Structure formats: C-alpha cells, structure tokens
C-alpha cells in the first residue's frame, strides 16, 4: 500500500453532529481529523413547546440538509444516561425518561447517540480547542439558556456533571448567572459579571480545577466579560465557541 493510500484509509469520514439547544437546533458535518465543520451549519429555531415529536421533525430537517451516512451524534440540554434523557430543565417535560437514542432512530432511520450538551462541548474543546494538552482537571461551563457543565481529567470527560443547578442563595445557579438571565434582566456585562463571579465563588468552593473553559454563545464576546471575572482558577474562552456542541456530538456519534 502506498503512503497516500494508507493515510486516506486512516482518515475518518465526515460525521453529522446535531446540537439541540433551548433556542436553536444546529447541525453540520464534522471532519473528525481536524474538528472543522465541513459545511456551513444549519440552524432552525427550537419549536415551542419543544416536545420530543416537534424536535424530531426539526432534527429530521437538519439531517436532510446534508449528504452524510452512518451514525449521528446529538446533544441534549439535560442529563442523559445511556441514551435516556433524564432531566429537561429548559425542555418539554415529555423528554423525561425517554429513550432518545431509540426515539430518534425509529423516527429517522439512522443510528443515534444522544449525550449532554456540555459534556459534548468539553470533549470537543479537549480534543480540538482550548483544552488541548491539558492534563489536569478541566471544567467547562457553557453560558446559554441554562449553565451547562462538563468535567475532564487527563483528557477523559465524565457524564452527569450539573453545576448549573448548584444552589446559590437558595436558587439554581443558572437562574442569575446564565446568559439567559442577562437578557431577561437586561443587565450590562458588568452587572451580569457580578452574578457570574458570585456563582463561580460557589463552584470554586467545591472544586479545584486547573482550568475553566467558558463556552456557550456568550463566549463569542468573551472580551466583554472575561476580564471582569475574578476566579482563583485560570479561565479561558472556548476556542470552538458555539460550535463545540456540534463537534462534540460528532465525536460521540459512533460510541
């Protein structure tokens, strides 16, 4: 076999990643050799109410927008264990205890693997983004409709990390520190950063990570608020910004 044939054989084919969020459902084929999107992503607003049936139809539209084959990775904004969606803080309650892998597979006719959105994001950042080469404990926090959290240690991520629901002054942390809270209350970056600092104090009282990666839609404007954050831990913006979910979804499609 020639070297060129060997390298084309070891190259991974494009995999579709779909990111289900509280406000949009996004997808694109991903080159798993580099973590790059191979086409402009498609974004369709999340249906209201975001019932499983309504979301399935939007996922179908996203899937039909691209010419890919094989398994599809999907992120979900709630706890997912073995393909079953266990919480749905910002989604319709009919997702509770639904086998989402099977539901999507039966509806769309392709194999699906569904995982938590922030866990997907930390996997993507560890492999292709801000977490590359980090051997210690990395906490990724995604600030969006809620606050997603993903943890990795020595490059391996773990499921079931839910720091968005850590109680701060008797309320879920994400109530005042998510990007949604900033919009809902019409807060300036400074006003919002004060709440995020208060939230991060609570996180740091329980966890001593080596690095915090700040992701979610707001990470595209990190220069506006990162300098206002006063954590003990080194803090960096996500490199894949809002695409980390799509890329992480593609990583797990075959798992």
Residues 31-40: contacts with CB within 8 Å, 24+ apart? 32/250, 32/251, 34/128, 35/124, 35/127, 35/128, 35/129, 35/240, 35/247, 37/243, 37/246, 37/247, 38/14, 39/66
| # chain residues binding ligand BGC, by CB under 6 A | 17
Phi, psi of 59 (to 5 degrees): -60, -40
The CB-of-164 to ligand BGC minimum distance in angstroms stands at 4
The CB-of-119 to ligand BGC minimum distance in angstroms stands at 8
Are the beta carbons of 212 and 163 closer than 8 angstroms? no
Half-sphere exposure of 15 (CA within 13 A, CB side): 24
The CB-of-31 to ligand BGC minimum distance in angstroms stands at 25
Using rule CB under 6 A, residue 46 touches ligand BGC: no
Q: Token pair for residue 213?
A: 């990666």
The residue among 23 and 36 lying less far from ligand BGC, judged by its C-beta, is 23
Q: Stretches 6-14, 28-36, 124-132, 161-169: which one binds ligand BGC (CB under 6 A)?
A: 161-169
Half-sphere exposure of 61 (CA within 13 A, CB side): 16
Q: Determine the Cα–Cα distance for residues 44 and 35; give it in Å rounded to an integer.
A: 22
Say how many C-beta atoms besides its own lie within 10 A of residue 64's C-beta: 10
Using rule CB under 6 A, residue 50 touches ligand BGC: no
Q: Determine the Cα–Cα distance for residues 213 and 234; give it in Å rounded to an integer.
A: 9
The residue among 24 and 144 lying less far from ligand BGC, judged by its C-beta, is 144
Using rule CB under 6 A, residue 146 touches ligand BGC: yes
The residue among 69 and 158 lying less far from ligand BGC, judged by its C-beta, is 158
Pairing state between β 36-37 and 112-116: unpaired
Phi, psi of 19 (to 5 degrees): -115, 110
The CB-of-244 to ligand BGC minimum distance in angstroms stands at 12
Using rule CB under 6 A, residue 245 touches ligand BGC: no
With CB atoms as reference, the residue minimizing the distance to ligand BGC is 146
The residue among 85 and 239 lying less far from ligand BGC, judged by its C-beta, is 85
Q: Stretches 3-11, 28-36, 72-80, 201-209: which one binds ligand BGC (CB under 6 A)?
A: 72-80
Are the beta carbons of 132 and 126 closer than 8 angstroms? yes
Of 36, 38, 39, 89, the one binding ligand BGC by CB under 6 A:
89
* Interaction residues for ligand BGC, span 165-224 (CB under 6 A): 165, 174
| Residues binding ligand BGC (CB under 6 A) | 77-79, 87, 89-90, 116-118, 142, 144, 146, 148, 162, 164-165, 174
């Amino acid at each position: 076999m020639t070297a060129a044939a060997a390298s084309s054989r070891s190259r991974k084919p494009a995999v579709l990643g779909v990111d289900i969020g509280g406000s949009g459902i996004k997808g694109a084929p991903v080159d798993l050799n580099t973590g790059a999107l191979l086409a402009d992503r498609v974004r369709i607003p999340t249906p209201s109410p975001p019932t499983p049936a309504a979301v399935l139809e939007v996922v179908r539209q996203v899937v039909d927008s691209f010419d890919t084959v094989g398994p599809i990775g999907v992120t979900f904004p709630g706890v997912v264990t073995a393909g079953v969606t266990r919480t749905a803080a910002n989604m319709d309650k009919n997702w509770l205890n639904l086998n989402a892998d099977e539901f999507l597979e039966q509806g769309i006719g392709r194999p699906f693997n569904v995982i938590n959105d922030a866990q997907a994001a930390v996997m993507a950042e560890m492999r292709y983004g801000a977490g590359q080469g980090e051997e210690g404990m990395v906490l990724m926090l995604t600030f969006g409709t809620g606050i997603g959290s993903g943890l990795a240690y020595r490059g391996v991520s773990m499921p079931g990390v839910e720091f968005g629901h850590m109680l701060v002054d008797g309320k879920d942390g994400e109530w005042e520190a998510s990007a949604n809270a900033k919009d809902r209350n019409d807060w300036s970056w400074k006003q919002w950063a004060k709440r995020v600092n208060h939230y991060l104090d609570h996180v740091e009282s329980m966890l001593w990570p080596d690095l915090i990666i700040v992701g979610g839609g707001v990470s595209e404007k990190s220069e506006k608020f990162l300098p206002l954050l006063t954590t003990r831990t080194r803090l960096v913006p996500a490199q894949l910004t809002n695409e980390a979910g799509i890329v992480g979804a593609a990583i797990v499609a075959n798992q």
